[in-house]
Amino acid sequence: MPQSRRPTIQARFFYPFILLTLMLCISTTTMAKSSSTQVTPGNYCPSTNILLIIAEDLSSSLEFVMQSRAAQTRGDLHTMQSALDAAGVTLQQARSRGAGARTALLISSTILSRVNENNAQLLAWFPLLHSALLTLPYDDARNAADDAIGRAEEILQDGQNGKPLDQLKKARHFLTCDGLDLPLQAAGKEQTRLLSLIRQHKPVVTKDYDKIVDSLRTAIAYVLDHSKT
């Protein structure tokens, strides 16, 4: 009889130990999975098909910039300005390609719409933002952007402490591709700066085109490198 009771006593201690071990394993696995799927802003990059279309836009934009620069050497102010205007159009097209980029630009428009502290005016944009998010694939980046937009909306609706525009900027960053978007932003700023100089009849030299050319070449290199088959 004493021998028949020994396994039962051991089991009373053994089974809880097994259960505790399983719980620890599940907890560790869940934490590892959560850590591995953490979203990093600036990595929402277009698919290969979209990148190839962007490459066409950027190539056209670069050609227009070079036409403007060539006109500068001839002193042809009209062509300098018209070619830069055309470069800006194709550059903006490149920045809007893909559902993520389009939604990010819509968020930018929402941010720019706040000209005062009128929350109602800003809140009017949020139904459009939510609809735009529904066009994106359901993934971690979209969820992170959705959470940030929701947080901004709550702050505006309930008067909570916080900075709604910062939340919107965070959402925008989740839907952009830094490797592409940053050089495009830099190119856009240079295009605006050069146009301003020309329109104000201020001197523009060939070297003034270097930054926009370098930015466009960087963006094109990124696109071509990430669209290889």
Please classify residue 135 by burial: count the beta carbons closer than 10 Å to its beta carbon, then call 0-12 exposed, 13-18 middle and 19+ buried: exposed
- Whether 204 contacts 72, CB under 8 Å: yes
* DSSP H helical ranges for the chain: 2-36, 48-74, 77-95, 99-112, 119-123, 126-133, 140-158, 164-174, 178-199, 210-226
**Residue 115: what pLDDT?**
78
Rounded CA separation 84/195 (Å): 7
What average pLDDT does the structure give for the chain? Answer: 87
The yes-or-no verdict on residue 120 having pLDDT over 90 is: no
**Residue 158: what pLDDT?**
85
Reported confidence tier of residue 186, pLDDT bands at 50, 70, 90: very high
Higher pLDDT, 160 or 10: 160
- For the stretch 142-179, pLDDT in tens is 999 999 999 999 999 987 778 999 999 999 999 999 99
The pair of three-digit structure tokens given for residue 3, joined into one six-digit string: 């021998």
Percent of the chain with pLDDT over 70: 83
Enumerate the domain spans of the chain. Answer: 1-36, 48-226
43 DSSP β-pair partners: 177
The pair of three-digit structure tokens given for residue 38, joined into one six-digit string: 């953490």
